[in-house]
Amino acid sequence: MTTRDKYTDVPAPFSWEVPSAGDARFTWEYDEGRARLLSLYQKGKDKQWDAQLRVDWTQDVDPMNPIGLPDEFHPLFGSPMWDSADEAHRAQMRQHFQGWQFSQFLHGEQGAMVCAAKIVEVVPDLDAKFYAATQTMDEARHVEAFSRFLQEKVGLVYPINKHLTSLLEDTLHDSRWDMPYLGMQVLIEGLALAAFGVLRDMAAPGSLAKQVLAYVMQDEARHVAFGRISLKDYYSQLTEAERGEREEFVVDACYLMRDRFRGEEVFETLDMDVEACSEWVNTSPLMIQFRSHLFSRIVPIVKDIGLWGDKVQTAFRDMGVHDMGGFDIESMMKADEDQAEELDKAHAEMAERALEVDQVIAAGAS
Ligand SMILES: [Fe+2]
Ligand SMILES: [Fe+2]
C-alpha cells in the first residue's frame, strides 16, 4: 500500500526539491541560554507524546463525514449546488472537503517539520537550536497523526495547494535566519492553528478528529511561544528598513493565505461548476467570517513581535482583521493546552470505568 493510491490526483513529480539558502551556524557557547527559551525547551521535552498511543485509533470514523461536522458549516451549504445535490453527492462533498482540508494540514505539517529542522541549522544560538530540535520531533508526530487519519479513516489525500506551495517556497528560499520563523511559525502555523481550533470545537465530542486536533494544538501553543520569544528580541534590534522588509513579507503572505482556503481543487475533482462554487465560497457570509477568523492568531502575534508599521496595519484594516491585534494570545494558548489535558482526563476516566465494568462482569461470572 502506498499513499500514491490515495491521492485524488497523483502529484507528478512525486517529490519536491526546494533550493534552500542560509548558512549552517555553529556556536561554541554551551552555557548561556535565555531562561524563557530553556524552560520552553524543558516543557517541549516533558510534553512529548506518542501519536500511536495517545490517540484512540480503534474508533470508527464515517469516511463520508470524517470530522463529524454539521452541514451548516459546509462551504457550499445553502448554495444552489448544495440544494440540488442528492444525498450521495452531498456525502461526497463532505468527504472531499474535509479530506482536502486535512490534506493541507498534512502537507503544512511536513513543511513545519522541514522549517523547524532548518531553524536548528541556521539559528545562531544554542537555546533556540535546542528548542527547534524538540519542535522538529513534534512536527514529525503531527505528520504521522494527520497522515494516519487521512489514509486509514478518510481514504483519500489531496495534493498540496498551490498557494501553500509558494508560501513555503518563499519561506525556505530566504537566506535570513528569521524567515523560517516568520513564514512558518507565525504565519502558516498561525493560520493553521485558527483553522484547527474551529474544527476541534465543532467536531463531535470524543471523536477521533477532535483528539488529533486537540493534541496537535497543545504542541502548537509552544511553537507559537517559541516564534514570539525569538522574533520579539531580534526585531527590536533591526533598522526601520529591515523591519519594513519583514512587514512587506507579512502583508504579501496574508493576502496569499486569504486565498488558501477556497478549495477549488475539490470542485474540480468532483466535476462541479468551479466558477459558480468559487463565487459562492467568496461571497457567502459564513465563509467570509471563517476567513477573517483565520487571522485571529496571526494578528496579535504580528503586533506582539513588533511588525506593526503602517503597511501591516493598513493591510489588516483592509482585510477587516485589525481589531484582532487586541486579542489576548497568552490566554488563547493556555486554553488550547487545557483542552488537551481535559481530553486526557476524560479518557482516563472512561478507561477506569470500562475496567470496573469488566471486573463486575468477571466477578458475576465466577
Ligand atoms: Fe505542527
Ligand atoms: Fe508547529
Cell numbers linked to 167: 508560501
Q: What is the rounded distance in angstroms from the CA atom of residue 311 to the CA atom of residue 124?
A: 29
Q: Say what the pLDDT of residue 265 is.
A: 94
Residues forming beta bridges with residue 157, ordered by sequence position: 7
> Among candidates 74, 89, 212, which has minimal Cα distance to 152?
212
Low-confidence ranges of the chain (pLDDT < 50): none
| Residues forming beta bridges with residue 7, ordered by sequence position | 157
pLDDT digits (tens, 9 = 90+) for 274-309: 999 999 999 999 888 888 898 999 999 999 999 999
Task: Enumerate residues with CB within 5 Å of ligand 1 (an ion).
Answer: 109, 112, 139, 142
Domains and CATH numbers, the chain: 3-8+35-339 (1.20.1260.10)
Q: Are 218 and 193 in contact (CB under 8 A)?
A: no
Q: What share of the chain is helix, strand, coil (3-state, %, to 5)?
A: 70, 0, 30
Ligand nearest to the CA of 107: 1
Q: What spacing in Å lies between the alpha carbon of 140 and ligand 1's midpoint?
A: 8
> Residue 290 to residues 73, 75, 327: CA-CA distances in angstroms?
10, 10, 17
CA dist., res. 267 & res. 84, Å (int): 15
Q: How far is the CA of 220 from the centre of ligand 1 (A)?
A: 6
Tell me, in angstroms, the distance from the centre of ligand 2 to residue 219's CA: 7
Give residue 221 CA to ligand 1 midpoint distance, Å. 10
Ligand 2 centroid from CA 169, angstroms: 17
